[in-house]
Copies of this chain bind each other. A is one copy, B any other.
Amino acid sequence: MMPTIKDVAEKAGVGIATVSRAMNGTGYVSARSREKIETAIRELHYIPNERARNLSRKQTGIIGVLIPDFQTPFYASFLRQVEMELYNYGYRTMVCNTVKHSDREAAYVEMLDRNMLDGLITCAWSAEAEVYRHMDKPIVSMDHNLGEGIPLIHSDHKTGGRIAAEHLLEKGCKRVLQLGDYFPVYTPSNDRYREFHRIMDEAGVEVRQLDLEWNRLDYEYYEKYLSEHLRDVKWSDAVFASDMGAIACYRFATERGIQVPDHMKIMAYDGTDFTRMMMPVMTAVRQDITKLASSCADTVVRLVQRKEPVRMHRIIDVEFQKGGTT
């Protein structure tokens, strides 16, 4: 007689609900119970019955969205747009703040693999692209190339880097401090740094790179970090940083009597709403978050609904935001 879920539960010494949660990967199951359940399933040669499997295979109407940190202005705004787009397509949004934990990222990819999600939009960059490889599932990646078969959507960061470099050159900057997160592996968002560097090199302008943590929201962090690198700050006549880094630099410099923009020009990258709430408005390279979000939502939905064609690579224009910090 074929073993049932009840037999598995008995053998594992746990409740049926726990076995079901473990099999469906939903809800909390302790590592120990999970192990006992897996052993029981192996020993009993238990096969989850067909109807259950079919039911679990049906579409859930849920799209997962992996965000490095949804408190940061860029992603908070992106998430807001994506959720509204997906909602209008009739899908719910399940979010995960990966905060650089690759295990969390992997957990969501696994949920996708188990059909608990219909699709995934990932802006995360913690996990090895390997996690995504060889997965024949609807995945869309923003900013990070996850390899063959996974649509990639990102801003035209190369042009963004060029706009920033040319603007600072126009303003006569000679010693530029670049604050940011340059990814060890290649990813399109690195192009803004590469292109920025390339153009500055050509113009014979020195660029010093400080590896500030990206888009932190606590000024104490910036204050401490910039104080430790005060020599570099004083050396430079221009700064190129992400929105929060640029806002923090503005405050750090001004508090020390370094006048912006007279003695120091500050150029922000992302150009989120906050750069326009500031006084003065930050000069910035502005990413089109609305278009990035709608492209990601549209693409993942096309994949889920098997609509052709699906563009495998989409580059969204960036624009220059005139401000008072350069």
A247 touches B277 (CB 8 A): yes
The answer to the question of A250 belonging to the interface, with a C-beta cut-off of 8 Å to chain B, is yes
Q: Which residue in B58, B76, B93, B273 is a CB contact (below 8 Å) of A96? A: B93
> What residues of chain B lie closer than 8 Å to A61, measured between beta carbons?
21, 24-28
A80-B69, A90-B28 in contact; A217/B97 too (CB < 8 A)? no
The answer, yes or no, to whether A170 is at the interface (CB within 8 Å) is no
A28-B90, A69-B80 as given contacts; A217 in contact with B277, CB under 8 Å: yes
Q: Which residues of B contact A111 (CB under 8 A)?
A: 92
Q: 1/0 per position for A82-100, CB-CB distance to B under 8 A?
A: 0110010111111111010
Number of interface residues of A (CB under 8 A): 56
Q: Does A179 contact B (CB under 8 A)?
A: no
A residues 174-189 touching B (CB-CB < 8 Å): none
Query: Shortest distance in angstroms between A271's beta carbon and chain B's nearest beta carbon?
Result: 13
Contact, CB under 8 Å: A95 / B93: yes
A20:B58 contact, CB within 8 angstroms:
yes
Q: How far is the CA of A26 from the CA of B89 in the complex (A)?
A: 12
Asked whether any CB of chain B lies closer than 8 Å to the CB of A77, the reply is: yes
Query: What residue in chain B is nearest A305 (Cβ atoms)?
Result: B28
Chain B residues with CB under 8 A of A24: 58, 61
Within 8 A of B (CB), among A39-96: 51-52, 55, 58-62, 69-71, 76-77, 79-80, 83-84, 87, 89-96
Question: A310 at the A/B interface (Cβ < 8 Å)?
Answer: no
Known pairs A62-B94, A218-B276, A219-B277; A89 contacts B251 (CB<8 A) = no
Q: Answer yes or no: A254 CB below 8 A from chain B CBs.
A: yes
Q: Does A255 contact B (CB under 8 A)?
A: yes
Report the minimal beta-carbon distance from A72 to chain B, rounded to whole angstroms.
8
Is A296 an interface residue, CB under 8 A from the partner? Answer: no
